[in-house]
Structure 1
Amino acid sequence: MQDDYQVLEAAIKTAGKRAQAIRQSGLSVTTKSRQDFVSQADIAVEAELKKVIRALFPDDGFLGEESGLVQASKPEDCGVWVIDPIDGTTNYVQGMDYWCVSVAYIKHNEIQMGFVYAPDREEFFTAKKGQGAYLNGVRLTIHDPQKGQALLGLGRSNRRPVQAYCDLILMLDKQSIEYRRFGAGALMLAHVASGLVHGYFESHLNSWDALAGLLLIEEAGGQVTDFLKNDGLLNGNLVWAASPQLWEELRPWLGA
């Protein structure tokens, strides 16, 4: 399994570099929905990772943002690989560095492994359940911010009313809590684990955007909502993840 893990890590890095190369050579972009784009890079990266995963773990299932769900051969014994080939596609298309490849592995309704790779930033996050979270090989530990110093990452889902997002901004403003919205939920969750922000909230996130980052935060010592309840793997769910004290302080305000 260790050799397979190393092959998978290498494949994720190769896929991220391929996305960079495709962008440099010119993109063909089609619109899926408002502020949600798909490019040939999304499709190529997912296909490449799917091919490697099928070769390494032929009995496992697969859930990709672009290609949907393929059931495991024995669902009671096998896991599911969950992939977002490019999270932050709009940022990627615009030439910004805030995008990533996200890969997670689910088995027995628990997140077992998570990888988030941001090629433009040269950041490779990894986590295994019970074995810690790492950024470029350095172990991560989450610390609570000092009083008055909290900085939250936010996402806005257009599957939820815009008024709810506006109310959230007003609530944070009243509590003098700073916030940022960078447009790539998987990478913002990874940056909670590394301490760049102290928490991340989004009223609805898809599983391919959420799972790898949530494991990173848990393994770094943070707190997260139970994303997989109510069939979150297929339906998505609310996400609130943060350093432990901040998570408890804001949980009542965030409906988590």
Structure 2
Amino acid sequence: MTEQFTHALCALIRRLGQEAKQLRDNGLTIEQKGRQDFVSQADVYVETALRTWLKAQRPQDGLLGEERGLEPGSEGVWVIDPIDGTTNFILGMDYWCISVAYVSGNHIELGVIYAPDREEFFFAERGKGAFLNDQKLTITDPAPDAVVLGLGRSSRTAPRDYTRTIETLFEHGVEHRRFGAGALMLAHVAAGQVHGYFEAHLHSWDALAGLVIIKEAGGMHNDFLARNGLTQGNNAWAASPAVWQRLQPILLPDN
């Protein structure tokens, strides 16, 4: 991709983030898709705008979004979460983001995560490093007794699996946090605000941008695209190198 294209894409994502904030401030129309699963007109607006622009710029590519599903293409696929952390967004919390990734073959080529209320703009392109607000990111390992993981809870897995994970982490002296926006928590692994992130099942639009940002910052992650992860989702596990090596056998013993 050309620098001109990625610059225009980032400018569009920034603009849409600010427009989503304005829609929220003006009063949202909200629909409920399921238990604790909401969609607002801001979700629909952002995804529609991104799809329209990307289709015009790269008509050969496919599109996969949380709200409108898969539109196949002949080359790569753009994977879009218009607002990750919709419940937080609706409640006026700052922990939400727009997440956009590009996948070609078995590689996540590009990832963008923008948290407008926090003014955090993450960007990574495969082989070119990861950045937060234009500052290069480099993951460092924490002290073994100071590890804090981000966790996500999926409604597609049993509640007991989630509580068992918490118990296991406590047994191994690991703290955890859960903030309700997996894409942004993955980005915060790259920024060192948490040292890893685990969720038993995550959709690709929540995972892919954050995973490439972590990898380009020097971290490690599981093969999310295996077993049709792009369309079916997968478990998501990413961390700094030492934390990965230590907790991989515990969190994903069968991988």
Cα deviation, 1:129-150, whole Å, max 9, x if unaligned, reads: 0000000000000011012000
Distance 2:124 2:247 in 1: 26
Instruction: State the SS of the aligned residue for 2:146.
Output: coil
Q: CA deviation at 1:4?
A: 1.1
Letter in 2 for 1:120: D
Partner of 1:83, secondary structure, is strand
Q: Report the 3-state secondary structure (helix = DSSP H, G, I; strand = E; otherwise coil) of the residue aligned with 1:230.
A: helix
**Counterpart amino acid of residue 107 in structure 2:** E
Match of 2:96 in 1: 99
User: Structure 2: which 5+ runs fail to align?
Assistant: none
Q: For 1:204 and 1:211, locate their aligned partners in 2 and report how far apart those are by CA, in whole Å.
A: 13
TM-score (norm 1): 0.97
Match of 1:59 in 2: 60
TM, length-normalised to structure 2: 0.98
CA distance in 2, matches of 1:2, 1:172: 42
| Distance across 1 between alignment mates of 2:166 and 2:68 | 34
Q: Secondary structure at the match of 1:148?
A: helix
Q: In 1, distance between residues paired with 2:94 and 2:107?
A: 30
Q: Percent identity?
A: 56
Equivalent in 184, 198, 203 of residue 201 of structure 1 = 198
Q: Distance in 1 between matches of 2:28 and 2:144?
A: 45
Matching of residue 137 in structure 1 with residue 134 in structure 2? yes
Q: CA deviation at 1:34?
A: 1.1
C-alpha deviation, 1:59, in angstroms: 1.0
The equivalent residue for 1:233 is 230
How far the C-alpha of 1:2 sits from its partner, in A, is: 1.4
Distance across 2 between alignment mates of 1:109 and 1:148: 35
Does residue 248 (structure 1) correspond to residue 245 (structure 2)? The answer is yes
Over residues 39-70 of structure 1, what are the superposed CA-to-partner deviations in whole Å (9 max), with x where a residue is unaligned? 00000000011111111111110001001000
Distance in 2 (CA, whole Å) between partners of 1:214 and 1:145 is 19
Listed as ranges, the gaps of 5+ residues in structure 1 are none
SS across alignment from 2:144: coil
* Root mean square deviation of aligned Cα: 0.7
Q: What is the rounded CA distance, in whole Å, between the counterparts of 1:93 and 1:138 in structure 2?
A: 30
> Do structure 1's residue 39 and structure 2's residue 40 form an aligned pair?
yes
Q: Distance in 1 between matches of 2:46 and 2:144?
A: 42
Residue of structure 2 equivalent to 1:150:
147
Q: How do 1:1-16 and structure 2 match up within 5 A?
A: 1-16=2-17
The CA deviation at 1:33 is 1.0
| Alignment partner of 1:212 out of 209, 217, 222 | 209
Aligned to 2:51: 50
Instruction: State how far apart, in whole Å, the 1-side matches of 2:177 and 2:37 are.
Output: 19
1:89 — aligned with what?
A: 86
The offset of 1:36, in angstroms, is 1.1
SS of residue matched to 1:10 = helix
Q: What is the deviation of 1:109? A: 2.0
Corresponding residue to 1:223 among 220, 224, 227? 220
Residues 60-85 of structure 1 show CA distances to partners (whole Å, capped at 9, x for unaligned) of 1000100100010x2xxx11000000
Instruction: Give the residue type in structure 1 aligned to 2:213.
Output: L
Partner of 2:70: 69
Secondary structure at the counterpart of residue 9 of structure 2: helix
State how 1:104-123 maps to structure 2 within 5 Å.
Answer: 104-123=101-120
Kindly provide the amino acid, as one letter, of the partner of residue 64 in structure 2.
L
Q: Distance in 2 between matches of 1:119 and 1:34?
A: 26
